[in-house]
Structure 1
């Protein structure tokens, strides 16, 4: 009995290790990090957003992580079309709200296409929300979202001039604040 449990335990550890290695190799090969420094309320925040730069057009779950965020400002993490006039390589042009986004704001958490990160009201939407991990007055997160090339019945990333990115943007309590916009461009295959 003991050797069966030990063998099962070793098999589980081996499977977890192989899965972690495979996932690490798959995500690290196509991950990109974008950094942005902002000032909000007299404090400087060094935002960092890491997300895959490529994804399957048919849809896949991806892990997105961020650090350096203001834990008093909630953000949405999702896949959005890059607005006209926005150059993802130039934060000075990030003056328009990233939209439309796959699944919209998804406050009910029904699509899995976005995630709401905030330290105050996250418990109101437990299906797609979580608090920041806070350290030294800065917030970080690691969340999973579902992305696919087709944002809507008429908008598809990579078609008709539509460029898409995995983004953070200020949540619905401050949706016109562009300081927390960070873009990681994503291509679909």
Structure 2
């Protein structure tokens, strides 16, 4: 009997410890929401919520969005903020966010980006999905991507003046369209 009580006690301590650890991890990663209103055959208020901090070694993070034109495919990923772009001033968002972690990952091999579109998502089932239906015919998404500070061999977030953000941007069918760029700045610890 004493052994069963000890086992139950240890199990309770383990569950409570795991819950405390999970709560600690959830509260240490804060999230930020950025909104942008655009005109593209209609008026769309884009909203993107993503973590504002992440571990430098890498982590899977959840990114949500709403208000998107379902006729425009987008990528969601971590990118370096281009020179001349101020993430706090949308009038400067006129340069393509690049380089991005994993590049333009159309195959889903890195998990570093996600392609949201309603027509071609079936071509890349590892990292693509259709928009979810939103208010007024707009589209949304809820995806997980992998982020880490080192984007490539020569670009690391937080080093040599490189700032980074979790971004949305028009997909490869319209990669020069800057209207769908939304920046949620992220720092790495």
| TM-score range for the pair, normalised by the shorter chain length | 0.7 to 0.9
Q: Give the direction of change, closer, same or farther, for the CA distance of 1:27–1:94 in structure 2 (3 Å limit).
A: farther
Which structure 1 residue ranges, 5 or more long, are not aligned? 1-10
Query: Shift in Å at residue 22 of structure 1?
Result: 3.5
User: Residues 99-146 of structure 1: CA distance to partner in whole angstroms, max 9, x if unpaired?
Assistant: 000001100110000000001110000000000001331000000000
Contact 1:27/1:52 (<8 A) preserved:
no
Is the partner of 1:26 in helix, strand or coil? helix
Determine the structure 2 residue equivalent to 1:82: 81
What is the TM-score normalised by the length of structure 2? Answer: 0.86
Q: Distance in 2 between matches of 1:117 and 1:64?
A: 12
Q: Count matched residues.
A: 172
Unaligned runs of 5+ in 2: 1-10
Match for residue 61 of structure 2?
62
**2:38: which partner in 1?**
38
Q: 1:29 to 1:158 in 2, by over 3 A?
A: closer
- Tell me the CA shift for residue 29 of structure 1: 4.9
Q: Which has the larger radius of gyration?
A: 2
Write the distance in 1 (CA, Å) between the matches of 2:131 and 2:160: 36
- Taking the aligned partners of 2:24 and 2:71, their CA distance within structure 1 comes to 31
Displacement over 4 Å in runs of 4+: none
Quote the RMSD (CA, aligned, Å). Answer: 1.9
